[in-house]
């Protein structure tokens, strides 16, 4: 997908039209009872772009990611054009989470969703079933093809293990590993889906300086060398301004600023709400 022309201005509309974006949403709202967690958010993430979504606790960041990857459905309104989700230009609003994953949308989690008693290899192999798995009749009729698919999956998983430098841990149970390695395993599971767009929900949370450096090194290579589109939630503003092409700031579920990270951080409203500086 060619990069799309962006608009300008900290509080203007989405920089990339959602329906033309690698990942986009139009006027998405998500309420839980009387609480509005996401309030009329429109975003467009360009192909190959690295965008960070920031904001204070309770701003709606993780809820927005949950809507984008299908864990939550956006609220329905009388406006048929509102509440729509787009992936690579296709409307995926009604697609289930696993269907979006197969279409190229990956996700890591702040609270790690790993099989702690299984080893690293088994954790990563298990996710391949989400991407592709032969039906029962197909497997019975074409046993050789099924075995070939399993071999191909194993080969791909071994490549990911090597790429993320997890080789020495491949047969270690996840529960026995430090947090930094567990977060790498979570990223490995996401890469096993062979995504085009990756949602990163505080992928560096709880990590030491050295572990953050390692994670940044892998993510930067995935973005710059392999062209993956990155959408990252992160509280560390130093990390955000170093790695992001654009920043989107949420407060009380709504976008209050977007654009170049340095310009956004300098915005008085962002400083007041996000950093606590008047």
Q: b/e map of 38-68 (b: 16 or more CB within 10 Å)? A: bbebbbbbbbbbbbbbbbeeebbbbbbbbbb
**Nearest one of 97, 89, 94 to 76, comparing CA atoms:** 94
Residues 161-215: tens digit of each pLDDT: 999 999 999 999 999 999 999 999 999 999 999 999 999 998 888 899 899 989 9
Q: Global pTM? A: 0.86
**pLDDT at residue 136 in the model:** 46
- Give the per-residue pLDDT at 137: 45
The 3-state DSSP composition of the chain as helix, strand, coil percent (nearest 5) reads 40, 20, 40
Residues facing 249 on adjacent strands: 54, 257
DSSP, collapsed to helix, strand or coil, labels residue 55 as coil
| Nearest Cα residue to 243 out of 266, 265, 261 | 261
- What is the H or E stretch that residue 270 is in? helix 268-270
What per-residue confidence (pLDDT) applies to 200?
94
Cα dist from 137 to 143, 150, 188, whole Å: 10, 16, 30
Digit-coded pLDDT (tens) for 79-117: 778 899 999 999 999 999 989 998 999 999 887 888 889
What is the strand order of the sheet 105-108 is part of? 105-108, 197-201, 229-233, 50-54, 246-251, 254-259
């Amino acid at each position: 997908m060619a990069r799309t022309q962006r608009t300008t201005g900290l509080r203007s509309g989405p920089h990339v039209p959602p329906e033309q974006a690698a990942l986009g949403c139009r006027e998405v709202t998500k309420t839980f009872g009387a609480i509005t967690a996401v309030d009329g958010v429109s975003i467009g993430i360009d192909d190959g772009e690295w965008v960070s979504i920031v904001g204070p606790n309770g701003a709606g960041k993780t809820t927005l990611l949950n809507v984008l990857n299908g864990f939550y459905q956006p609220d329905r309104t009388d406006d048929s054009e509102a509440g729509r989700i787009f992936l690579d230009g296709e409307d995926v609003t009604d697609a289930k989470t696993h269907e979006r994953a197969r279409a190229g949308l990956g996700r890591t989690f702040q609270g790690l969703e790993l099989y702690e008693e299984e080893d690293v290899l088994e954790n990563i192999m298990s996710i391949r079933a989400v991407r592709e798995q032969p039906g029962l009749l197909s497997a019975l009729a074409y046993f050789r093809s099924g075995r070939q698919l399993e071999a191909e999956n194993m080969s791909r998983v071994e490549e990911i293990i090597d790429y993320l430098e997890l080789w020495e841990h491949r047969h270690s149970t996840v529960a026995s590993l430090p947090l930094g390695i567990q977060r790498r395993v979570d990223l490995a599971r996401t890469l096993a889906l062979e995504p085009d767009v990756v949602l990163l929900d505080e992928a560096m949370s709880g990590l030491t300086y050295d572990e953050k450096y390692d994670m940044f090194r892998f993510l930067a290579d995935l973005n710059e060398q392999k062209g993956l589109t990155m959408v990252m939630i992160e509280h560390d503003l130093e990390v955000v301004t170093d790695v992001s092409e654009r920043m989107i700031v949420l407060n009380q579920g709504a976008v209050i600023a977007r654009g170049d990270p340095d310009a956004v951080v300098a915005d008085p409203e962002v400083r007041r709400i996000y950093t606590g500086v008047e």
